[in-house]
């Protein structure tokens, strides 16, 4: 999965247009909650798959997670 910068173009993407069409009708709250939950789970699964792929490609394991947990990664404050 490639992360791309989002640049406003003044035009809708195909995904945005599809969603606008789909939601142009009244959808019951219960259905909307189910759709929203499905989307959250879908993107969470995709993120998990990509992290698993990174760990496999780089030979990372629990040690890498511990390293990240104990590493200070904040940008230093400049006065």
SS3 72: coil
Structure token digits, residue 66: 């511990």
pTM of the full structure: 0.61
- How much is the pLDDT for 8? 63
Q: How confident is the model over 17-74, as pLDDT tens digits?
A: 888 888 888 889 999 899 999 999 999 999 999 999 999 999 999 999 999 899 887 8
Distance CA 28, CA 38 (A): 15
Exposed, middle or buried by CB within 10 Å (0-12, 13-18, 19+), for 60? middle
Q: Identify the sign of the CA torsion 60, 66, 70, 75.
A: positive
If one compares 38 and 78, the residue with the highest pLDDT of the two is: 38
Rounded Cα gap, residues 73 and 79, in angstroms: 18
Retrieve residue 16's tokens: 């945005």
């Amino acid at each position: 999965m490639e992360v791309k910068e989002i640049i406003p173009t003044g035009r809708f993407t195909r995904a945005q247009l599809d969603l606008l069409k789909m939601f142009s009708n009244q959808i019951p709250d219960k259905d909307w909650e189910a759709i929203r939950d499905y989307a959250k789970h879908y993107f969470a699964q995709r993120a998990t798959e990509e992290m698993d792929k990174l760990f496999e490609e780089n030979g990372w394991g629990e040690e890498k997670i511990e390293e990240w947990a104990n590493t200070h990664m904040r940008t230093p404050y400049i006065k």
